[in-house]
Amino acid sequence: MAYFAWTDELQVGNSFIDSDHQKLISLLNQLHEAMAQGQGKNILGKILDELIRYTREHFKREEDHMQKIRYADFAAHKQEHDKLIKEVVDLQAKFNAGNGMLSVQVSGFLRNWLINHIMKTDKLLASALKQAAA
């Protein structure tokens, strides 16, 4: 069973956001599995790179849509994205420098962050997008 399983509760009802989130969760599962299997730095580093790359891409997509509808909560939502990216990039820098280990705490942190952000912040965005399209 996957470490972090997709459930209907995570669905925000917007097709691009939901499919991006599924991809993010699958990358996080890959990272977790590689850690659990005790994979080496090379493999972990590659998955982490891809996870960060895709997260940036996803955040940008959401932010572009927010700007398109002149979303009132744009600044606060973007701030949550920026803060997460900063934390993960710091973690990556430590990992690359060899003085930080990736541990299950990392995947736990990312999983909790994603659940919280999706359930609160992204759901609000999805309903605003739906309204704007109506």
Shortest Å, Cβ 34 to Fe ion:
23
Query: Whose Cβ is closer to Fe ion: residue 13's or residue 36's?
Result: 13
d(CA 53, CA 50): 5
CB of 80 to Fe ion, least distance (A): 7
| Residue given tokens 């993960």 in the structure block | 88
Q: Which residue is nearest to Fe ion (CB)?
A: 122
Candidates 62, 71, 102, 126; binder of Fe ion (CB under 5 A) is 62
Question: What is the footprint of Fe ion within residues 87-106 (CB under 5 A)?
Answer: none
Question: What is the CA angle 106-53-74, rounded to 5?
Answer: 90
Tokens of 70: 């002149």
Site string for Fe ion, 105-124 (x = CB under 5 A): -----------------x--
Question: Reduced to 3 states, what is the DSSP secondary structure of residue 37?
Answer: coil
Tell the smallest beta-carbon distance from residue 42 to Fe ion (Å).
29
What does the buried/exposed string (b/e) look like for 6-40 if buried means 16 or more CB atoms within 10 Å of the residue's CB? eeeebebebeebbebbeebbebbbbbbebbeeebe
**Minimum CB–partner distance for residue 52 and Fe ion (Å):** 14
Binding site for Fe ion (CB under 5 A): 62, 122
